[in-house]
């Protein structure tokens, strides 16, 4: 099993607790893998966690692995439609905060074509993978889909290219 760092586990658990206890809005306990969790205020927490196979990686407010898409050459996303359904962007309606070893100064937001604000780390738009259903999973690592490869990120915003396997495309 993959291990989270103590601080990463507490931050992920706190984010989940806050998301589960928020009032108003759509507080559906049957959340879909393609609908990433945000805290009730719309704040996006970007954290780091330690996994056995990839080391220190970046995770979202729900503790799930975040990825970069090699097709994105700047801060603007090239993933929309079916791509965004499989690789949901990490979005924020409010502030973006960091925890663990993720630098707050490396976090920004950029407007997507649908008007939502996507979180970026060191200029890379951040995405979840719909095939990751729990913290510690990195099933999207090394997948080559929608025209390029997807990689987990280190807290400094660099792609982690280990752990990718012979994955097929969509």
pLDDT in tens, the chain (170 residues): 334 343 343 333 333 333 333 333 322 222 333 444 443 345 678 888 888 789 999 999 999 999 999 999 999 999 999 999 999 999 999 889 998 899 999 999 999 999 999 999 999 999 999 999 999 999 999 999 999 999 999 999 999 998 754 443 33
Question: Residue 100's pLDDT is what?
Answer: 87
First to last CA, the chain: 28
Contacts of 57 (CB under 8 A, 6+ apart): 48, 49, 50, 51, 65, 66, 138, 152, 153, 154, 155, 160
pTM of the full structure:
0.73
d(CA 160, CA 66): 11
Q: Which of 60, 68, 66 is nearest to 11 (CA)?
A: 60
Bridge partner list, 97: 45
Question: Residue 42's pLDDT is what?
Answer: 59
- Phi first, then psi: give them for residue 120, nearest 5 degrees: -120, 150
d(CA 102, CA 157): 8
Q: Which of 62, 58, 51 is nearest to 122 (CA)?
A: 58
Question: Residue 164's pLDDT is what?
Answer: 59
């Amino acid at each position: 099993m993959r291990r989270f760092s103590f601080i990463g586990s507490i931050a992920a658990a706190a984010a989940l607790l806050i998301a589960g206890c928020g009032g108003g809005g759509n507080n559906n306990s049957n959340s879909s893998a393609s609908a990433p969790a945000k805290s009730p205020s719309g704040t996006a927490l970007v954290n780091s966690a330690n996994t056995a196979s990839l080391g220190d990686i970046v995770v979202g407010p729900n503790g799930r692995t975040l990825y970069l898409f090699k097709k994105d050459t700047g801060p603007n996303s090239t993933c929309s439609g079916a791509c965004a359904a499989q690789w949901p962007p990490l979005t924020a309606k409010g502030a973006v905060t960091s925890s663990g070893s993720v630098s707050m100064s490396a976090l920004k937001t950029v407007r997507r074509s649908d008007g939502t604000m996507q979180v970026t780390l060191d200029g890379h738009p951040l995405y979840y993978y719909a095939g990751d259903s729990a913290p510690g999973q990195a099933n999207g690592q090394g997948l080559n889909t929608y025209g390029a490869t997807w990689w987990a990120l280190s807290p400094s915003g660099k792609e982690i290219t280990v752990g990718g396997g012979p994955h097929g495309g969509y």
